[in-house]
Amino acid sequence: MNVYDAIVSRRTIRKFRQTPIPEDVLKKMINAARLAPQASNLQPIKYIVVDDKDLLEPVFATTKWAAYIAPEGTPKPGERPVAYVVILVDLEIRNSGYDTDAGAAVENLILAGVGEGIGSCWIGSVDRDRLRELLGIPERYIIHSIVALGYPAESPVAVEAKGCIKYYKDETGTLHVPKRPLEEVMFRNRALPPQG
Ligand SMILES: Cc1cc2nc3c(=O)[nH]c(=O)nc-3n(C[C@H](O)[C@H](O)[C@H](O)COP(=O)(O)O)c2cc1C
């Protein structure tokens, strides 16, 4: 799969098959993240892979899913993630402005996953205090976000947004994700519309 096809076909996945992800695939995804562009090349991001069976449910309990369609988008038992990557920022390397670094790293991780058939949900809605305690994460690290992983058990589709950008499920249970059309977001030279 070429890069563009991976980007276009990627959709957030919130239902997973219960097949474990091989170690080499997880390593490939973290490797892709580690090689992302980083401001001043500081590379403050660290990654904890969580795939211990005893930790999966407690980590799941720290997460919130698909707010626009809650509780319908929350994975049920038997369709929950089989691994998580906890995205940390090492404050001793960088203590402000790290959000873009994390963003670039996570997108690389997710797209490398697409190339390996792995589905993911990037999750910002995390009970960080609980997760910190659960995994024994020292104060030196900020918990930026987590990425839930597994082989997809659903096939969401991107659709053109007609005003509303809230994702929704149709009568068959397929998730539709409205994306703003190209002509609404792409401009040339001095052609930006006036405000309002
Ligand atoms: C920074 C960030 C945080 C997110 N946090 C959550 C979250 O807490 N829970 C969730 O279910 N999805 C979360 N998402 C996934 C978005 O809902 C999803 O990307 C968006 O609906 C667009 O769908 P798509 O990824 O299929 O294009 C997050 C995405 C990003 C980029």
Token pair 């930026």 is at which residue? 144
Q: Which two tokens stand for residue 128?
A: 């960080």
Ligand 1 site-directed mutation target among 12, 86, 109, most atoms within 8 Å of CB: 12
User: Ligand 1 centroid vs 19 CA: distance in angstroms?
Assistant: 23
Q: For the chain, give me the number of helices (H) and strands (E)?
A: 6, 7
CA-based nearest residue to 155, from 173, 137, 142: 173
pLDDT digits (tens, 9 = 90+) for 99-127: 999 999 999 999 999 999 999 999 999 99
pLDDT digits (tens, 9 = 90+) for 143-193: 999 999 999 999 999 999 999 999 999 999 999 999 999 999 999 998 787
User: Ligand 1 centroid vs 109 CA: distance in angstroms?
Assistant: 15
Q: At 52, is the secondary structure helix, strand, or coil? A: coil
The secondary structure element, H or E, covering residue 142 is: strand 141-150
Report the sign of the C-alpha dihedral through residues 126, 128, 134, 139, in that order: positive
User: Ligand 1 centroid vs 121 CA: distance in angstroms?
Assistant: 6
Strand partners, 119: 150
Domains of the chain: 3-154 (3.40.109.10), 156-196 (2.20.180.10)
Cα angle 82-143-168, degrees, rounded to a multiple of 5: 55
Is the shortest distance between the CB of 146 and ligand 1 below 6 Å? Answer: no
Q: Which atom of ligand 1 is nearest to the CA of 11?
A: 26
Supply the pLDDT for residue 196: 52
Is the shortest distance between the CB of 155 and ligand 1 below 6 Å? Answer: no
Supply the pLDDT for residue 195: 67
Distance CA 192, CA 127 (A): 40
Cα-Cα end-to-end distance for the chain: 41
Token pair 């309990």 is at which residue? 61
Give the single-character DSSP code of 45: E
Is the shortest distance between the CB of 177 and ligand 1 below 6 Å? Answer: yes
> What DSSP letter does each residue of 74-88 carry, written as one string?
SPPTTSS-SEEEEEE
Is the shortest distance between the CB of 11 and ligand 1 below 6 Å? Answer: yes
> What DSSP letter does each residue of 27-41 carry, written as one string?
HHHHHHHHTS--GGG
pTM for this one? 0.96
User: Ligand 1 centroid vs 190 CA: distance in angstroms?
Assistant: 32
Ligand 1 site-directed mutation target among 122, 145, 146, most atoms within 8 Å of CB: 122
Neighbours of 8 (CB within 10 A): 11
pLDDT digits (tens, 9 = 90+) for 7-23: 999 999 999 999 999 99
pLDDT digits (tens, 9 = 90+) for 60-108: 999 999 999 999 999 999 999 999 999 999 999 999 999 999 999 999 9
